[in-house]
Amino acid sequence: MDPFRITSTKVLTLVTVIDKQNQRILLGYKKRGFGAHLWNGFGGKVEPGETPKEGAIRELEEEAGITVHPDKLQKTGLLLFLFENDTVGLETHVYKAYEYEGEIRECDEMRPQWFDFADIPYSQMWPDDETWLPLTLKGQDPFFGRICLKRRPLTESASLENGVSGLNPSSSTASSGSTTSTAASAGNLSTTMTNTSFTADQPSNGPFEIFDYHLEHSLPSAPHEIALDGTVASYEN
């Protein structure tokens, strides 16, 4: 059976705040939860009754203390994250903002920090970020992507604590549009997203590596919705 087949999706948001004038981007160090100890954009689950844009604005305020006017939040893409042996896909609506109001502040979940475009800490970010974040920064959006992630193989030093932590560097080699993994599968461990431990001592970008990905950019309009087969179901006008 296809280990990346999904039967449902969870709708999430991811916001990148960009300071165009100083050529830098605001990221947050995730202190806990899924993706802990990685630098990430701001976002999370869209709540019932919310649009993705409303959810994105709320999460940005909760996690970084700043607000963005809805007209200033631009859709930059739609990414479907698929995790090996997990039937729930993450339909992630990606936004960018060049302007915000309020004072940036740390919260119990995220520690925000500015990074120059030249110093983005990709080695401490989700491994796929390097495939699509540059498109946002270069204005090559909106884009659509389907990204398949698998666990890195366990090493002797990898700890098993409520899940798996990846301690070895990525062995994937990315080419334009697809990735070849030289790593062996981590076996039959289920990638249950709520049951995954990331550790502070991991030197690389988390316990997952890219198995495969497909990105289309410069689409005529913003992708809006994803079908369960991973294709774009509709576009935003």
Ligand X SMILES: Nc1ncnc2c1[nH]c(=O)n2[C@H]1C[C@H](O)[C@@H](COP(=O)(O)OP(=O)(O)OP(=O)(O)O)O1
Residues that bind ligand X (CB under 6 A): 12, 14, 33-35, 40, 43-45, 81, 90, 126, 128-129, 193
Nearer residue to ligand X within complex by CB, 34 or 235 = 34
Closest CB 173 distance from ligand X, rounded Å: 18
Closest CB 125 distance from ligand X, rounded Å: 7
> Can you tell me the distance from the alpha carbon of 96 to that of 74, in angstroms, rounded to the nearest whole number?
5
> Can you tell me the distance from the alpha carbon of 221 to that of 228, in angstroms, rounded to the nearest whole number?
20
- Nearest residue to 14 (alpha-carbon basis) of 72, 71, 77, 70: 77
Closest CB 33 distance from ligand X, rounded Å: 4
Q: Which residues contact 146 (CB under 8 A, 6 or more apart)?
A: 79, 80, 82, 213, 214, 230
Nearer residue to ligand X within complex by CB, 14 or 64 = 14
Alpha-carbon radius of gyration of the chain: 17
Query: Helices marked H in 18-65 — which ranges?
Result: 52-64
Cis link prior to 112 (omega < 30° from 0)? Answer: no
User: Nearest to ligand X by Cβ — which residue?
Assistant: 44
Closest CB 41 distance from ligand X, rounded Å: 7
Nearer residue to ligand X within complex by CB, 45 or 69 = 45
Nearer residue to ligand X within complex by CB, 149 or 158 = 149
